Amino acid sequence: MANYVIRRWYDIGLMLAALAIVWLMVGDLGRVQLILVLNFVVLVLHQFEEMRWPGGSPWMTAIR
């Protein structure tokens, strides 16, 4: 179990981000709490993108 967490922490973070989005839709949060949770979600999604698909920035920013 520990090896799975070490190797796949970004997958677990993606699940936490999904739970946070559900919490945003269901919960009654103030403006500051909403911004903080959205910041967490964006950070985790960025980490997932960087770890799951490394080197994707040149492909995404390429001018066609």
| Global pTM value | 0.75
Residue 10: the pLDDT is: 86
9-16 mean pLDDT: 91
Cβ atoms 44, 17 nearer than 8 A: yes
Residue 51: the pLDDT is: 82
Cβ atoms 14, 44 nearer than 8 A: yes
- 13-17, 54-58, 60-64: least confident range: 60-64
Residue 58: the pLDDT is: 60
For residue 33, the one-letter residue type is Q
What does the alpha-carbon distance between residue 44 and residue 30 come to, in Å, rounded to a whole number? 21
Q: Which residue has the higher pLDDT, 4 or 45?
A: 45
Domain ranges of the chain: 2-58
What does the alpha-carbon distance between residue 2 and residue 23 come to, in Å, rounded to a whole number? 27
2-18 mean pLDDT: 88
